[in-house]
Structure 1
Amino acid sequence: MSPFKSSTGIPENLAATLCYLFPMVGGILFLSLEKRSRYVMFHALQSLLAFTTLALAHLLSGAVPVIGILAAALLALLGILMWLILMFHAIQGRWFKLPWIGYFAEKQIARM
């Protein structure tokens, strides 16, 4: 466990993991509550962006007749793997960045 606590009173690594445990909702919640920890804010924003993008991709795959079913299945598998990997790194206190989304989230948090 991280010895550092976020402004919510929860250890940073646990707060970051909760951002991923409850996709989108956890990100929104911790972005609105967290005032001090850039680590938690980064993971909250990355979670929100990653799972919103994944949800939009699922929505768009439903509009494609035959290939959409295969795409939706692959997106579901990708979503589960991404969810597990992100939680694993967050609980260990790592700044694991997804391609594109992670770098964008890091850039936005640096501006705050």
Structure 2
Amino acid sequence: MDEKNNEEEVTTEIIDSRNNEGGKKSTTGLEENIAAVICYLGAFITGIIFLFLEQSSKFVRFHAMQSTVLFLGLWIIQFILGFIPFFGWFLSGLIYLAGIILWVVLMVKSYQKEYYKLPVVGDLSEDFLAKLNPKDNV
């Protein structure tokens, strides 16, 4: 009987520690890391949606902007390359593959609550956010 109580106590402690770690909620009512993952889930479309929905979490807003800048940029580049026969099609395919890899990596990093900033796109995202909200510095 004592072993069963110990198991319940350990399980309760694990659940309690997970609840304490998860903590921060976004304006949407979701935990910040879940909202950040959703920003990437639908590429630039969900990024734009979360830019409008999220009002308080700098973490979620950053990931929404980074998703928008990255995937909208990749989409525009692929569109332009689509008009160039052979070489453009090949480059477009490589960009598509890179986009899939970045998509997975960024979702994993945001789920792990990492403020993962891509080299050029992350800086652009921070600049755009600063211009959108001059009061808040990311």
Assess same fold via TM > 0.5.
yes
Q: Secondary structure at the match of 2:117?
A: coil
8 Å CA contact 1:61–1:68 kept in 2: the answer is yes
Shift of 1:110: 4.0
Instruction: Say which is worse superposed, 8-17 or 21-30, in terms of deviation.
Output: 21-30
Shift of 1:82: 0.6
Q: Which runs of 5+ in 1 are unaligned?
A: none
Which residues of 2 match residues 2-81 of structure 1 at below 5 A?
A: 2-81=22-101
Structure having the higher Rg: 2
Q: Which residue of 1 aligns with 2:114?
A: 94
* TM-score, structure 2 normalization: 0.77
- 1:61-89 deviation per Cα after TM superposition (whole angstroms, max 9, x unaligned): 11111201211110111010010010010
Q: Which runs of 5+ in 2 are unaligned?
A: 1-20, 134-138
Higher helix share: 2
* Bigger RCO of structures 1 and 2 (CA < 8 A, at least 6 apart): 1
1:105 partnered with 2:125: yes
Q: Secondary structure at the match of 1:24?
A: helix
Instruction: Say which is worse superposed, 101-110 or 40-49, in terms of deviation.
Output: 101-110
Alpha-carbon distance in 1 for matches of 2:25, 2:68 = 21
Of 101, 105, 119, which aligns to 1:85? 105
Shift of 1:107: 2.9
Q: Secondary structure at the match of 2:119?
A: coil
Alpha-carbon distance in 2 for matches of 1:2, 1:92 = 10
Alpha-carbon distance in 1 for matches of 2:39, 2:45 = 8
Q: Secondary structure at the match of 2:113?
A: coil
Q: Which amino acid aligns with 1:14?
A: I
Q: Which amino acid aligns with 2:106?
A: L
Alpha-carbon distance in 1 for matches of 2:22, 2:116 = 16
8 Å CA contact 1:38–1:109 kept in 2: the answer is no
Alpha-carbon distance in 2 for matches of 1:110, 1:92 = 24
Q: What is the identity percentage for the equivalent residue pairs of Structure 1 and Structure 2?
A: 38
